[in-house]
Amino acid sequence: MLRLLVPANWNTPAKPARRLLAATLLAASACAAAGAQAAPECVVPAKPGGGMDVTCKLMQKALPGDVKIASKSGTVHISYLPGGIGAVAWNSVISQRRAEPDTLVAFSGGSLLNLAQGKYGKASPADVRWVAAVGTDYGMIAVRSDSPYKTLGDLVEALKRDPSKVTIGAGGTIGSQDWLKVALVAKQGHVDPKTLRFVAFEGGGESFTALLANHVQVVSGDASEATLHSINDQIRVLAVLSDARLPGTLSNVPTAREQGFDVTWPTIRGFYMGPQVSDADYRKWVAAFDHVMKTPAFDQLRAANGLYPFAMTGAQLTDYIQKTVDAYGRQAKEWGLVR
């Protein structure tokens, strides 16, 4: 912050130059502050290192190329607001930051699952404005590279023998998407999901940190997170939960289906805004994402961040979100996760 110090007698008729200088400096200070406040902000509703972080970093890299997207600045600032597997960020936006025109929050399919299960309180998809979905991720299950489990079948056999000896790190608690990924695999392997030993973390970054420190033996997460952490060969991805093998870093990893488990888990990733953001500002961001997602450069950035093609914005996305939350709600009732 610029602090202006002037003599006590600056406002005298004999000192017009001082008055002009002070006014100029004050104006400059105000402009600087306005510029700083106008920088777009992407809120990660988790700790650094997970899929939500990947989503905001994709936005940060993709959008500055078109300075028209931001009110005053083309630089996207990333902030972190973990807590309640996304509930803290959600409640902050709908209660305190309802009309901020350049604040976006990352979301994933897991966020929609939490909404469906009431983990954000009495919340509804209609509480916010859905801006854009910029890609899709896929579930995966990973272990350390020195783990005795070489395949998904090895892991399921270990769970059959004694599930209490296998600790599984997951983003969120029972009923979260990371929990459901393993629960679906376990159920197909004739293992009762209720016997599994889970440790809940605030996002994939924490889960992988715990895995590398050997605090957990397995991580249930997303392919984009695995891509971030597989560079140093310290982890082994046992399976990706996609229809077919994924291109890029994980191209050699078999799907769960290839290993006899008919489980897929796509996860869209994108952004929402506060409910009282003006129509003009909302349309500005929708148009910005519509524009950037049509460029070859964005395709390359999305792939480099471990995400796969999926593009939807505005009203179409809003309708998709509502239908997805409704479907997750029905699934949660079938699993006995909600009444």
Q: What confidence score (pLDDT) does residue 214 get?
A: 93
What three-state secondary structure class fits 222? Answer: strand
CB 127 within 8 A of CB 107: no
E strand residue ranges, the chain: 41-44, 77-80, 103-108, 129-144, 167-171, 197-201, 218-222, 235-241, 266-273, 312-313
Of residues 288 and 70, which shows the higher confidence score? 288
Report pLDDT digits (tens) over 149-176. Answer: 999 999 999 999 999 999 999 987 888 8
Give the lowest-confidence range in 31-35, 122-126, 250-254.
31-35
The one-letter amino acid code at 219 reads V
Q: What confidence score (pLDDT) does residue 51 get?
A: 87
Q: What is the mean pLDDT of residues 226-247?
A: 87
**CA–CA separation, 277 and 64 (whole Å):** 21
Q: What is the mean pLDDT of residues 71-78?
A: 70
Report pLDDT digits (tens) over 127-149. Answer: 999 999 999 999 999 999 999 99
Q: First CA to last CA across the chain, in angstroms?
A: 52
Q: What confidence score (pLDDT) does residue 228 get?
A: 76
Q: Which of 266, 228, 204 is nearest to 52 (CA)?
A: 204
For Cα atoms 279, 281, 286, give the angle at the middle one, nearest 5 degrees.
90
Q: Topology of domain 40-136+267-334, per CATH?
A: D-Maltodextrin-Binding Protein; domain 2 (3.40.190)
Proportion of the chain above pLDDT 70, given as a percent: 84
CB 256 within 8 A of CB 264: yes
pLDDT of residue 224 exceeding 60, the answer is: yes
Give the lowest-confidence range in 18-22, 165-169, 189-193, 296-300.
18-22
CB 172 within 8 A of CB 112: no
Q: What confidence score (pLDDT) does residue 231 get?
A: 61
Asked if the domains 40-136+267-334 and 138-266 are classified in one and the same CATH topology, the answer is yes
**CA–CA separation, 208 and 188 (whole Å):** 25
Q: Which residue has the tokens 């700083």?
A: 36
Q: Which residue has the tokens 């891509």?
A: 227
Architecture field, domain 138-266: 3-Layer(aba) Sandwich (3.40)
**CA–CA separation, 203 and 219 (whole Å):** 11
CB 307 within 8 A of CB 126: no
**CA–CA separation, 52 and 85 (whole Å):** 11
Residue 145 CA to its chain's centroid (Å): 26
Give me the chain's average pLDDT, please.
85
Model pTM? 0.77
Where exactly are the structural domains of the chain? 40-136+267-334, 138-266
3-class DSSP string for 226-259: HHHHCCCCCEEEEEEECCCCCCHHHCCCCECHHH
